[in-house]
Amino acid sequence: MAYPRRIEPETLLDVSLQLIDEEGFASLTVRAVADRLGVKAASLYRHMASFDQLKFQLAERAANLLCEQLQRSLDRLNGGSAPARLAALAWAYVLWAEQFPGRYDCLATQAVPGPGTQALRALIATEVGRLSGTEVGRGAAGTAPDPLATHALLAFLHGHVSLARCGLGAPNAGPDGFERGLVALLRGL
């Protein structure tokens, strides 16, 4: 009995990522991925542990890609003040979510954080720590960044993305509305 061609794990992830980029995360189904790969949906299970595992791997890939984007935005500053770094990070986060809504939805719906998600949170926490003077190596010896301040920033960013996407944001607020909220939040951190 002949088996269909082997689908490499990276190919499966690449095709799935392309699908959610083009059609949104809600379009991610076994059948949709199989159609793009030119195989039957049932045979796709020979190439992945489970559909949930595929979604987890996609969320991890999305987290890694977002983390890389945020790091590039920070690298372009060549140092910079803590507020400027956090502002650059925040803008990069929102722009990435707008540019890749399928990836963002995949990342935002992942219930179990993996290493990529944890690295993303650690990067953000480090920058929040710079602002509050509690990053590791600064402030009190061994003090970790404030998890509540990190949570506040993530909640603001996710809230902004969600409101903009569902139409509940202030009409015509645009970048000025985001900037005003960001400045207020940074002052409060």
Does residue 34 share a domain with residue 1? yes
Does residue 86 share a domain with residue 123? yes
Query: 54 lies in a domain?
Result: no
Does residue 73 share a domain with residue 41? no
- 7: CATH: 1.10.10.60
Does residue 75 share a domain with residue 42? no
Answer for the pair 71, 65: CB distance below 8 angstroms, yes or no. no
Q: Total structural domains in the chain?
A: 2
Q: Which domain holds residue 130?
A: 59-188
Does residue 142 share a domain with residue 72? yes
Please report the pLDDT score of residue 136 as a whole number: 44
Please list the alpha-helical segments (H only) found in the chain.
9-23, 30-37, 41-44, 51-75, 82-99, 101-108, 115-132, 147-166, 174-188
Does residue 122 share a domain with residue 175? yes
Query: 53 lies in a domain?
Result: no
Within 8 A by CB and 6+ apart from 179, the residues are none
Please report the pLDDT score of residue 140 as a whole number: 46
Query: 103 lies in a domain?
Result: yes
- 136: CATH: 1.10.357.10
What are the 10-residue block averages of pLDDT along the chain, 189 residues in total?
Answer: 74 96 96 94 90 94 96 92 94 95 92 87 92 56 70 93 80 76 89
